[in-house]
């Protein structure tokens, strides 16, 4: 299927109805389909929608930020972390080979720090209230660059 450039407004709520994230007023999120720029479960739904259409959908954890993986929780010594003040809830990037991924500090016990490599929304079913603002085929240049050009995208 031809890649689409889709801009959409959204409000994201997680369990217990708590609003986690939302697009700013007048600033919809814009992305190119087929490039892994948004979570797969949501992309599938947006591709099937038309401009100005609204919908509220719940995406299962496995199609959102993945299932919670206890194997991504591990402990390190304080000396292996950046030399600055840290607290529970801090996030930073750790590199393993070329793969950099964000981790969250979930416990501090003396010099023993517990890190969690799961996305903060892993394991949660997510509800999105979405409205398609605009939708058009991606241009060859956009596909070559891997980002959107023009309004809401890259100007160069
Ligand atoms: Zn470009």
- Three-state SS for 15-64 is HHHCEEEECECCECEEEECCCCCCCHHHHHHHHCCCCCCEEEEEECHHHC
Q: How far is the CA of 146 from the centre of ligand 1 (A)?
A: 7
pLDDT in tens, the chain (156 residues): 689 999 999 999 988 788 999 999 999 999 999 999 999 999 999 999 999 999 999 999 999 999 999 999 999 999 888 778 899 999 888 766 556 678 999 999 999 999 999 988 899 999 999 999 999 999 999 999 999 999 888 888
**Domains plus CATH for the chain?**
4-65+122-145 (3.10.50.40), 70-116 (2.40.10.330)
Contact 132, 18 (CB under 8 A): no
Contact 51, 134 (CB under 8 A): yes
Q: The tokens of 120 are what?
A: 């903060």
Q: How far is the CA of 144 from the centre of ligand 1 (A)?
A: 8
**Spatial CA neighbour of 137 closest among 29, 4, 1, 35:** 4
Q: How far is the CA of 138 from the centre of ligand 1 (A)?
A: 12
Q: How far is the CA of 83 from the centre of ligand 1 (A)?
A: 37
Residues with CB under 5 A from ligand 1 (ion): 145, 154
Contact 115, 70 (CB under 8 A): no
What's the pLDDT score for residue 92? Answer: 82
What one-character DSSP code corresponds to residue 149?
A: B
Q: How far is the CA of 25 from the centre of ligand 1 (A)?
A: 25
Predicted model pTM: 0.78
What's the pLDDT score for residue 96? Answer: 61
Pairing of strands 19-22, 29-32: unpaired
């Amino acid at each position: 299927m031809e890649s689409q450039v889709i801009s959409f407004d959204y409000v994201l709520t997680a369990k217990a109805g708590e609003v986690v994230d939302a697009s700013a007023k007048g600033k919809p999120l814009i992305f190119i389909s087929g490039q892994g720029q948004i979570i797969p479960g949501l992309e599938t739904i947006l591709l099937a929608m038309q401009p100005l259409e609204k919908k509220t959908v719940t995406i299962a954890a496995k199609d959102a930020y993945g299932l919670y993986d206890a194997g991504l929780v591990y402990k390190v010594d304080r000396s292996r972390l950046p030399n600055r003040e840290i607290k529970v809830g801090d996030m930073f990037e750790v590199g393993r080979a070329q793969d950099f991924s964000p981790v969250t500090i979930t416990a501090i016990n003396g010099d023993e720090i517990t890190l969690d490599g799961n996305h903060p929304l892993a394991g949660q079913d997510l509800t999105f209230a979405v409205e398609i603002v605009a939708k058009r085929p991606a241009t060859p240049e956009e596909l070559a660059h891997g980002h959107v050009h023009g309004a809401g995208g890259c100007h160069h």
